[in-house]
Structure 1
Amino acid sequence: MTIRTLIVDDEPHAVDIIKRYAANVPGIEIVATCNNAIQAFQLIQNTKIDLIFLDIKMPGLSGTDLVRSLKSPPLVIFTTAYQEYALDGFDLNAIDYLVKPIPLNRFLRAIDKVMQFINGDKNRTDTQELKPAPIEPANHFLYLRIDRRLIKVNTQDILWIESVKDYIKVITTEKVLITKQKISVVEKLLPISEFMRIHRSYIIPIDYIESYHPNYIVIAGNKIPIGRNYKQACARIFDQPTGNL
């Protein structure tokens, strides 16, 4: 059996993460993605959907309003950056509620709940094949061209990446590497669930963040500035009010 899955989110980055995670789980088929709830409502009327990954706060119709508008909604896993909406989600009998940024292990726990529901409450005997296979965390690497050589860098060792004119500085736990490259190109090569852009000139790894301030993030005792265009996104992730401090 295949679980036909729909992703509804107005943030392309969030959609990409779920699609990448789902690709590692046998039996999960991403049938479609929608960037708003109205589009999702129309699709659900004409397409068999077993499971929805559903963002709550979207322009126009919210995720919770979408569920309320459906006579027989599919299984729902809510995804949002706003912890305070969890109660609304569970009032609608959601299978789970994932807070962004979504870690892989938390995603797999939500999928396991879906499997348990299908195997238990639905009394299905043909879904054993859908249990997710164990996934070991993979090492990701960048290859930087320095002095006519390609230098292999484990992304787990990167503290931050800084753009300086036509060059980037890759600061690792052991050294600083400088190469002629655009930061936008390097950004596309990084694991999207592990790094975030906080400034036109800075990319940081989420796991190394020591503290957050509306104007900067601290990593290894260093203050990394948050750019004006990135303040709102950072505030959502760290569950802080926006505004000048």
Structure 2
Amino acid sequence: MIRCVVVDDEPMALEVLEDYIRMAPNLTLQQSFSNSLEALAYLQSNEVDLLFLDINMPDLSGIQLLKAVSKPPLVVFTTAYSEYAVKSYELDAVDYLLKPIEFDRFMKAVNKAAEQLQSKSGVVANGATAKDEASVAKDYIFIKSGYQLIKIKLDAILYVEADKNYVSFVTPEKKILALMPLSEVMQMLPPEAFYRIHKSYIVALQHIEAIDRQHVNLHKQQLPIGKTYVADFFKLLNQGI
């Protein structure tokens, strides 16, 4: 488990990050602070893996706090001000989250941190290799649909279909509608398991039943292969999927 601390002087922002950490299967909330000086004292005397740190705070800013910690943990900066982005990366931050923070974007930052921690240790606490742990962390995603965050198992997704500003995650049982571009969906899905075959479709390679030059068949559905995607798609097939 990745031990986390949250520092944010805004109560609502602090609560959101606390909830997200509790929802994530590989995180544990060690402590949270609304006061940066109290957080500094804690960080100086306790081992922490990952710090979610607001930049714009009274007393000590997040950047000042981080510089004051003798052995700083990995840090993900959070702020409502995009002009801090460059400064955060200069300090070797794992990631930079702009408020209001969506859960899927939060998990991207978490996965980056997990990879860095695993590359340092090589072995996780339960004895699995870092590669094993990474694959476990990627077996599902959370999608914001309306006012809900819906958990979807990756192996249940047949394909993803875009319609204007929305996408539908299609499983054998249902369709889950979300407001996001297909390009963002591609960043969420493991590239070894999903492939974009059309401007409007991403398919799960494991569920493909048949292919011709113009279509992919899966689960009683026939999806078109776009002209601009066909060459790369068949190159992938020739390499073995």
TM-score for the superposition, normalised by structure 2:
0.54
Q: Quick check: 1:118–1:124 contact (8 Å CA) kept in 2?
A: no
Structure 2 counterpart of 1:131, from 137, 140, 150: 137
Contact preservation (8 Å) 1:4, 1:29: yes
Contact 1:52 1:77 in 2 (8 A): yes
Q: For residues 115 and 12 of structure 1, what CA distance do their matches in structure 2 show?
A: 26
What is the aligned residue count?
A: 141
1:67-106 paired onto structure 2 within 5 Å: 67-106=66-105
User: Secondary structure of the equivalent of 1:61?
Assistant: coil
> In the TM superposition, what is the alpha-carbon distance from 1:121 to its structure 2 partner?
4.2
Alpha-carbon offset, residue 116 of structure 1: 1.4
Name the structure 1 match of 2:111.
112
Is the 2:37–2:60 Cα contact (8 Å) retained in structure 1? Answer: yes
Which residue of structure 2 lines up, in the alignment, with residue 30 of structure 1? 29
Uncovered stretches (5+) of structure 2, i.e. residues with no partner: 149-178, 180-241
State the 1:120 CA deviation: 2.4
**Is the CA contact 2:44–2:71 (under 8 Å) kept in the aligned structure 1?**
no
Q: Per-residue deviation at 1:138?
A: 5.8
Instruction: Give the conservation status (yes or no) of the 8 Å contact 1:50–1:74.
Output: yes
- Retained in 1: the 8 A contact 2:36–2:57? yes
1:115 touches 1:131 (CA, 8 Å); kept in 2?
Answer: no
1:140-178 deviation digits (Å, cap 9, x = unpaired): 59xxxxxxxxxxxxxxxxxxxxxxxxxxxxxxxxxxxxx
SS at match of 1:93: coil
Match of 2:19 in 1: 20
Q: Give the C-alpha shift of residue 36 in structure 1.
A: 2.0
8 Å CA contact 2:44, 2:69 repeated in 1? no
| Partner amino acid, structure 2, of 1:108 | M
Equivalent-residue separation in structure 1 for 2:85 and 2:121 (angstroms): 24
Q: For 1:76-132, what per-residue CA distance to the aligned partner results, in whole angstroms no more than 9, with x for missing partners? A: 000000111111111111000000001111111101101111222443344517726
Alpha-carbon distance in 2 for matches of 1:58, 1:140: 29
Higher helix share: 2
Tell whether 2:65 aligns with 1:66. Answer: yes
**Matched AA of 1:131:** A
| Structure 2 counterpart of 1:160 | none
Bigger RCO (CA 8 Å, 6+ sep): 1
- Shift in Å at residue 134 of structure 1? 2.4
Q: Give, in angstroms, the shift of residue 27 of structure 1.
A: 2.2
Structure 1 residue 19 displacement after superposition? 1.4
What stretches of structure 1 of length at least 5 have no aligned partner? 142-206, 208-245
- Structure 2 equivalent of residue 9 of structure 1: 8
SS at match of 1:31: strand
SS at match of 2:23: coil
Q: Percent identity among equivalent residues?
A: 35
Please say if residues 2 and 28 of structure 2, whose CA atoms lie closer than 8 Å, have aligned partners that are also in contact. Answer: yes
Cα offset for 1:45? 2.1
C-alpha distance in 2 between matches for 1:120 and 1:46 = 25
Task: Tell me if the contact between 2:85 and 2:96 (Cα under 8 Å) persists in the aligned partners.
Answer: yes
Alpha-carbon distance between aligned partners in 2 of 1:83 and 1:140, rounded to the nearest angstrom: 25
